[in-house]
Structure 1
């Protein structure tokens, strides 16, 4: 089992579940975490174990970044988690310029 690679959406959902939330605004959490996570789960259900399309992969990554921003995840942790997903699923060609993440606002 050492060579097992979980489905892409499973990896994204793992990153969501494993990051602490530092944002206690319920409305922001609903819009910026719950709704995007539901969309990712929906795509997961639609594709099952099949490889998602490049568009779905990019959409899920964009949603993950929104979730990290909403949860106020530290920048270093964001980069580590994004790198983990990219490395695990060999997505370097699809995301050649994603790392380092562009810091649009100071880390909170």
Structure 2
């Protein structure tokens, strides 16, 4: 399996996400970046109580439930640019899967 990942902050929800591109299966998927979320909560404790941010988390969770069909890494990068991610913030790294 050829798997790549990058870390982003979603431009509309401001939720940190991990983006996976599965080249073998041909899709992009999202996962909330819990490590970054925990760091954010440690720095800004009231964020966990912020209703607007919690709604953003809910919307991000819905985003994470869908796989988006794309054939190439270049298409995955273009997809992220189209949703508003700055090109210089997109850096896919290959994930070694055993």
What TM-score range do you get, normalising by the shorter chain? 0.3 to 0.5
Q: What is the TM-score with the length of structure 2 in the denominator?
A: 0.38
TM-score, with length taken from structure 1? 0.36
Bigger share in strand = 2
Q: Hey, which of these two has a bigger chunk of helix by percent? A: 1
